[in-house]
Amino acid sequence: MAVLKTILTILFIIICVALTVIILFQEGKSAGLGSLSGQSLDSYWTKNKGRSKEGILIKATTAMVVLFFILAAVLNIGSF
């Protein structure tokens, strides 16, 4: 049982580091302020944002956060 806990702890640390790196790679959301001046941002970039680098980073962040919470719960339950 101790081997499984060690493996899960190492996996948890790897996910923590990967989540930090993915969040730091993301750009800020300052583009939303352009809509106040009436600028239209309907372009190819905004319509296909899910397939861009930023969209992939958002999906990877979501997956890593889910794994983070699942592993945190499993490690916490296993500590009793």
Is the pLDDT at 8 greater than 90, yes or no?
Answer: yes
- Structure confidence at residue 6 as a pLDDT band (50, 70, 90): very high
CA atoms within a 13 Å half-sphere pointing along the CA-CB vector of 73: 6
pLDDT confidence of residue 52: 81
Q: Is 43 exposed, middle or buried (0-12, 13-18, 19+ CB in 10 A)?
A: exposed
Provide mean pLDDT across the span 23-45: 65
Residues 79, 5: Cα–Cα separation, whole Å? 9
pLDDT confidence of residue 51: 72
Question: To the nearest whole number, what is the mean pLDDT of the chain?
Answer: 82
Provide mean pLDDT across the span 32-42: 55
Three-class DSSP labels, 42-64:
CCHHHHCHHHCHHHHHHHHHHHH
pLDDT confidence of residue 49: 62
Question: Which residue in this structure is represented by tokens 């296993």?
Answer: 78
Is the pLDDT at 37 greater than 90, yes or no?
Answer: no
The domains of the chain are located at 1-17+44-80
| Start-to-end CA span in the chain (Å) | 13
